[in-house]
A and B are shown apart, each in its own frame.
Chain A
Amino acid sequence: MTESRFSQDPDDRHQADARLLDRVAAGDRAAFAELYDRFSRPLYATALRILSDAAEAQDVVHDAFIAVWEKARTFETNRGTAFSWVLTLTRNRAIDRLRSRRRRAELLADSAPSDLGLDENTSGPSADDSATANDRASAVRAAVATLPEDQQRALELAFFSGLTQEEISTRLRTPLGTVKARIRRGLLKLREQLAARL
């Protein structure tokens, strides 16, 4: 039976993720399918948020999971959680695609604050979203909501927009040093808040 990723203690969850990845590294296709079931929803949502294109988001998630299958043995637990490793594979691919688009400028211009991810009304959860996944998302949103607005904005752009530091600085019309400080403070506080909530 598939183990729900969100109904566990965080440390147990991360360890279970890492064990699954070990099994994938050993060529266990069932473990791969289970890992997909645990990770695919947030990974797909992230890719879709970055690319605003369902077909491209599917391609990115597909490529990322193929990379997981091929490179699972290179995962090192001391460099972050299994989820963050797989997310990095996904996000990097999505951002590479975003940057290679010829119509990038238009897409960035279309990015309004309301669709940066905090506005839950922009896209409601699908009917079969599990309640536990919603709890998880709610907890992360609540943690993000505790950050000052300028830090939220800086983190959202850093995570979803594919912009460089300088581009974020230009977008926010804020000095580069201030942007870096906001990212530092925001991420440190987010880490603290997540530890308290998850």
Chain B
Amino acid sequence: MNAERHEELAALAALDLLSPLERAEFDAAVTVEPSLAALAAALRSSAAELAHIAPAAEPPATLRARLLETIAAAPSSARPSAKIIAFPTWIALATAACFALTAAWLGQAYVSERTATATLRDEQTIAALSLRAAQNQVEAERLIHRGELADAATKAAESSRVLATLESRLAAASLLASDSSRQLDASREQIASARRELTVRDERVADLSRRLSTQGKLADYKIATLASLLDNSPQALAVAVWNPAGQEGVLTVRKLPALAADKDYQLWVVDPQYPIPVDGGVFRVDPATGEARFDFRPDRPVKTVAKFAVSLERKGGVPKAEGPMVLIGP
């Protein structure tokens, strides 16, 4: 048996934690190595100091009083000491007289007691011999039991080895389980990552769907080219793009004559449901190039666009076209 096992048994003994099998193993080991008992005693003393780490608590004073009261009434394990009783003087004199009277009787009694004592002594000798025989018997049984104890210790050591093997297997299984757990965690992380990527892709698909839907609506857009009605600028041109769903449009013009300061161009949307063209707003062109890009939103709902027209009006525009038409289409 190795030193560590001895220390382990001593430590468990110090804390009263030995199993019955270990107790037998420990007892057997102590017979072989008496220093083990000293180690267990030292460890027991050290373990006892753990009492000081318990949260401090004061026993009530009544407990002390109760204890002292109890032992005052109870006998101790000690052999009681002899008591000295004081005798009054006259009792001593009377005792001396009685002593004289009984001396003769005691002489006779002495002879008979001596005979009895001899008999008792013989009996004592016989008893001592019997005791010796019993001790020999006990010693013989102790030797037999020591052998049995050694066998038990061997079996205990074997059990410990088996236990250690099982524990190492258990540790290996725990490691395997831990490894599997880590793999499972990694797989979960991969799944979570794939899900996140899937979500991103779903969002992209949704975005593309939205864009596709928007592009699908382009088919509903109306695109019209407006031609010049001006003699002095026959090459003037405009393109209007109309989004009926959004009720808004964009007008792009090129090569329109520059305007006087008190004039504006005004866009008109011709819808058959209204008796007069709908006002699309006023705009000005770059004096150098005659170009403009104009986002417009008619001031009334437009159901059907029959034509777009641009007229030259006074600055700020008018509710109903008054000036000459400069562009019209389609």
Contacts and interface: CB of A to CB of B under 8 A. Distances in A.
A161 B4 CA distance: 25
Main secondary structure of the interface of B (DSSP, over half): helix
Contacts of A159: 15, 47, 50
A42 B51 contact: yes
A176 B42 CA distance: 24
Interface string A124-148: 1110110001101100110110000
Nearest to A152: B53
Contacts of B11: 180, 183-184, 187-188
A16 interface: no
B299 interface: no
Interface in A25-64: 25-27, 29, 32-33, 36-37, 40-46, 48-49, 57-58, 61-62
Interface string B48-59: 111111111111
Contacts of B14: 187
Interface in A157-198: 158-160, 164-165, 175-178, 180-181, 183-184, 187-188, 190-191, 194, 198
Interface in A69-103: 69-73, 78-81, 83-84, 87-88, 91-92, 95
B45 A42 contact: no
A123 B56 contact: yes
A14 B11 CA distance: 21
B235 to A, nearest CB: 92
A140 B54 contact: no
Contacts of A124: 55-56
Contact of B48 (A58, A81, A164, A176): A81
Contacts of A36: 64, 67-68
A36 B71 CA distance: 12
A25 B170 CA distance: 52
Contacts of B57: 41, 44-45, 48, 57, 123, 126
Contacts, number: 201
A183 B51 CA distance: 16
Contacts of A180: 8, 11-12
Interface in B68-86: 68, 70-72, 74, 76-78, 80-81
Main secondary structure of the interface of A (DSSP, over half): helix
Contacts of B53: 117-118, 137, 140-141, 144, 156
Contacts of B164: 177
A158 B77 contact: no
A27 B78 contact: yes
B8 A191 contact: no
Contacts of B50: 117, 140, 144, 155-156, 159-160, 190
Query: How big is chain B's contact interface, by range?
Result: 35 or more
Contacts of A156: 50, 53
A87 B68 CA distance: 19
Contact of A80 (B48, B71, B76): B48
Interface in A109-129: 115, 117-120, 122-126, 128-129
A182 to B, nearest CB: 10
Interface in B10-57: 11-12, 14-17, 19, 37-38, 41-57
Given A177-B163, A181-B8, A87 B51 contact: yes
Contact of A117 (B46, B54, B66): B54
Among A33, A40, A84, chain B packs the most CB atoms within 10 A around the CB of: A84
Given A140-B49, A187-B11, A188-B43, A33 B68 contact: yes
Contact of A88 (B43, B44, B52): B44
Interface of B: 4, 7-8, 11-12, 14-17, 19, 37-38, 41-60, 63-64, 66-68, 70-72, 74, 76-78, 80-81, 163-164, 167, 170-171
11 contacts: A32-B68, A41-B57, A44-B58, A65-B67, A70-B74, A140-B53, A176-B163, A184-B11, A187-B15, A190-B47, A191-B42
